[in-house]
Amino acid sequence: AKLLALHGPNLNLLGTREPGIYGATTLAEIEADLVARAEAAGHRLESFQSNAEHALVERVQAARDGTDFILINPAAFTHTSVALRDALAAVAIPFIEIHLSNPHAREPFRHTSYFSDLAVGVVCGFGADSYRYALDAALQRLGAAG
């Protein structure tokens, strides 16, 4: 199957960005790990990061090319973006919402998500491991390679 990992604003700075909250692992390391694990399970995984809402909306729309599953950390857009939510609803591709931190344990403005009620599930609070757990869940749902 074909998986897409989407990363929202400021996640390009992972590794140096508030390491006490987000850890020391870079986005390149996270992406390489996801690709390796997906391929080992017989699937394909592409990654896309942008700081721009419109670029993320367009990448979600482009996923109508046959993408079977999306892993998304919408980052700050989690709490603001009706447009990105609507894009995911429009393409109707199942997705898991991911966060490195646990937004529920942070500022009140991080407690609401425009994505969680549409998501297959949400993985948050495990640092870079959140991505690995989400991929495991996606692979479980996708079943045998195809």
**Which residues form the interface with ligand DQA (CB under 6 A)?**
10, 73, 75-76, 78, 99-101, 103, 110
Nearer Cβ to ligand DQA (67/113): 113
Which tokens in the block code for residue 44? 């394909």
Q: Which residues are catalytic?
A: 22, 99
**Annotated binding residue at 10?**
no
CA 46 centroid distance within chain = 11
**Annotated binding residue at 101?**
yes
**Annotated binding residue at 54?**
no
- Whether the CB-CB separation of 96 and 137 falls below 8 Å is answered with yes
* Minimum CB distance to ligand DQA, residue 42 (Å): 28
Q: How much of the chain is in helix, strand and coil states, percent to nearest 5?
A: 45, 20, 35
**What whole-number distance in Å separates Cα of residue 70 and Cα of residue 29?**
19
**Annotated binding residue at 86?**
yes
Nearer Cβ to ligand DQA (110/141): 110
* Minimum CB distance to ligand DQA, residue 75 (Å): 3
Nearer Cβ to ligand DQA (64/104): 104
* Minimum CB distance to ligand DQA, residue 112 (Å): 10
Q: State how far the alpha carbon of 94 is from the alpha carbons of 24, 63, 88, 121, 142, in Å.
A: 29, 11, 8, 10, 10
Binding-site annotation: residue ranges for substrate: 73, 79, 86, 100-101, 110
